[in-house]
Amino acid sequence: MDFPDAKILEIDLTSGSILKKTLSSEIYRLYPGGSALGLYLMMQDYIPGTDALDPGNILVFSVSPLTGLPISGISRINVTARSPLTGTAGDSQSGGFIGSYLKMNGWDAVVFKGKSPIPVYLLIDGDHIELKSATHLWGNVTGEVETMIHQELGNSNFEVAQIGPAGENLVRFACIINKCSRANGRNGMGAVMGSKNLKAVVVAKRKGMEPYDSEKFTELSKSVKSRLEENTTVAGLGQFGTDGDLEGINDVGFLPTRNWTSGHYPEGASNITGTKMYETILKNRDTCFSCAVRCKRVVEVPNMVDPLYGGPEYETAAAFGSYCEIPSLEYISLANQLCNMYGLDTISCGATIAFAMECYENGIIDEETTEGIKLQFGNVEAIPAIIKKIAEREGIGNILAEGSYRAAQKLGKDAIRMSISVKGQELPAHMPQFKPAVGLIYAVNPFGADHQSSEHDPFLMMPPDSRERIRLAKIGISKGYMDTTTMDDDKVRFAFESQKFFSILDTLCLCQFVWGPAWELYGPDDIVNLCKYGIGWETSIYELMQIGERRINMMRYFNAIEGYTKSDDVLPERIFHPLRGGPTDGVILDRESHEQSKEFYYELAGWDKDNGNPTESTMRKLSLHWLL
Amino acid sequence: MKIILNNNIVVIPNGFTVRQLIEHIGYLKSVAVLINGKQLLSAQYKEYQLKENDNVRIIRILGGG
């Protein structure tokens, strides 16, 4: 079977025009969906120097040729635009159902240009594409808006990806929410929607897609049952959610605590872990399209937390819990709910509040500035109050809505020391001191610190006959380690090769808990088979890895045009200073080793050793000459 | 019999296998196991019987998400 063409919707929000376009299979195969397709489409018309919140920014929702097939972990939808948080190429993925339905309606991507004169939402129902007024929806929180849209359209057979008030108010870490509980969380894509007066993308539910080779595809799909039985890591994710490991991470002393000054939270970790959630407030386990893992949490706290808004992930529990020293799953769940109502990224929001707490305790901001909120670490009451101020850009919230990096620049003194961010994006809850390869990717990743852009160091400690090591060997990573903290040339290769692999996942819109290069349910060989049985795409690991590398280089090239260099690939200074307390008291990330690893990474990536940007030959090698 | 598990002395039944020890301490996800400084293969967990005074290190693999 030939590789398919891509069907693209192009919406000019300024004029209201709607174009239906086709991208040829020859090009689509180079950028087969998700983030790579989003970048390709964005860079067709992007004018260098355009501000992220200017109408000239280009926003793309995209899925892949595989999306909508009936198998676990295939639900992701990608959003691409220049990021208002980092200023770089921006990129964010979410699970749920809307991506699958977008594809089932016949569309691979939706490109938004310009700015609507009034708030609107886009309705997609097969070939019926319509911009509808959203003036009556503007200002409402996500739960209310979803209900209003369903009532307006006469039934609930529509998925809604929307911004909340935070996106409308251009909070730089505003996200896009679907099902009131799933987020294209990172990089501030919600603010880009807000800047375009685009409240929501609404997609009609449709019937599923038929695989190319039904018999073999069904075999692959049904094997999920036995894979779950024998894969305790993924089964544990299903049972206890992503928060299941929080206590273990604390036990080894690498749970970011008190705005990353410590790796140990003895007073609170056991209260905020996934097992505690399971035993106390968990109401249900939710899932995404066709997925058997069911890792999504649904929690309920009477008179406090509504199950409509899902439940906290590990990142959320850490960002509002240990970062802010809030030892309460109830308040963390409330924070999660407020972020999902207002449309805020929980990582950046929690981390920015932790930053503000440290500023408060060091006298950089005071009670007058916070309008009476005592913003000390551990003050549970402060969290909901500050979240609302951020979403509404009210008082101190107007400064914090810029993200911790820009807020630090406005606050002055030594506040910048307290912003734990890379390229302006706050660090997720995996410490480079424990996982130096992840730390390397935090530094060099084109869109700021991200924990889902490469495999994590500890899996290299598994025995050579383990599932993890056998799979990693298939992408060229065969060396094992007796600890997580060693950083050498082979570890840099691990970081880069696994980054390319994760880049495939963000392109094919596959979930990283189900598909991946190590511990996941399905490994590298399975992805090749998925492509073959699913759509008749005869591919190989080689082609896929090159696609992943192409995407990374497109982003890096975009950044280069905007003036970014290796001088922006910098971890926060705090990472190189001793942690305080617990089993990791005094532990640092070795600066010299980290710097050497970056230099080797640039060499491996084929990037200029002086400025860290892709060389012409690297671009040409990856068929990106059209960008030069 | 006594063994040293992650720097703590613990008492386990004679003939306890590595797999039984992992289940006993409730580590449900992927682990690496070192006995007296030498790493075991995954295939050995089920059959490997621990001996008196073995120095055992069981490492929980803490990944992403």
Residues of B in contact with A438 (CB under 8 A): 64
CA R_g for chain A: 22
pTM across the whole model: 0.97
Give the closest of B61, B64, B65 to A462, CB-based: B61
Contact A458 B64 (CB under 8 A): no
Contact A462 B60 (CB under 8 A): no
Q: Would you say residue B29 has pLDDT above 90?
A: no
Query: Considering only alpha carbons, which residue of chain B is nearest residue A430?
Result: B64
The size of the A-B interface in CB pairs under 8 A is: 71
Confidence of residue B28 (pLDDT cuts 50, 70, 90): confident
Q: How many CB atoms lie within 10 A of CB A127?
A: 9
Residues of B in contact with A230 (CB under 8 A): none
Dist CA B62 CA A229 (whole Å): 20
The CATH number assigned to the domain with range B2-60 reads 3.10.20.30
Contact A242 B28 (CB under 8 A): no
Q: Beta strand pairing status for A296-299 and A282-286?
A: antiparallel
Q: Would you say residue B65 has pLDDT above 80?
A: no
Please state the ipTM of this predicted complex: 0.95
Residues of A in contact with B28 (CB under 8 A): 232, 235-236
DSSP state of A448: S
Q: How many CB atoms lie within 10 A of CB A223?
A: 15
C-alpha distances in angstroms, A71 versus A269, B23, B43?
Answer: 35, 31, 30
Q: How many CB atoms lie within 10 A of CB A267?
A: 12
Looking at residue B63, its pLDDT comes to 80
Q: Which of A159, A51, A179, A62 has the alpha carbon at shortest distance from A115?
A: A51
With 0-12 / 13-18 / 19 or more C-beta atoms within 10 angstroms meaning exposed / middle / buried, residue A405 is: buried
Best probe of the B interface among A479, A519, A584, by most B CBs < 10 A, is A519
Looking at residue A223, its pLDDT comes to 98
Low-confidence ranges of chain A (pLDDT < 70): none
- If DSSP codes are grouped into helix, strand and coil, which group holds residue A589? coil
Beta bridge partners of A426: A421
Looking at residue A544, its pLDDT comes to 98
Contact A237 B65 (CB under 8 A): yes
Residues of B in contact with A430 (CB under 8 A): 64
Best probe of the A interface among B6, B8, B62, by most A CBs < 10 A, is B62
Q: What is the pLDDT of residues A255-267, one digit of tens each?
A: 999 999 999 999 9
Q: Would you say residue B27 has pLDDT above 90?
A: no
Q: Tell me the shortest Cα–Cα distance from B29 to chain A, in angstroms.
A: 5
SS3 content of chain B, % helix, strand, coil (to 5): 15, 35, 50
Contact B63 A313 (CB under 8 A): no
Contact A233 B60 (CB under 8 A): no
Looking at residue B64, its pLDDT comes to 67
DSSP state of B50: P
B 23-62 residues inside an 8 A Cβ radius of A: 28-30, 32-34, 39-43, 59-62
Domain ranges of chain B: 2-60
The set of long-range contacts for A382-387, using a CB threshold of 8 Å and a minimum separation of 24, is A382/A353, A382/A357, A383/A320, A383/A324, A383/A326, A383/A331, A383/A334, A383/A335, A383/A353, A384/A331, A384/A334, A384/A335, A384/A338, A386/A353, A386/A356, A387/A335, A387/A338, A387/A339, A387/A342, A387/A344, A387/A349, A387/A353
Residue-level length of chain A: 628
CB-CB contact of A241 with A297 (8 Å): yes
Q: Does A229 touch chain B (CB under 8 A)?
A: no
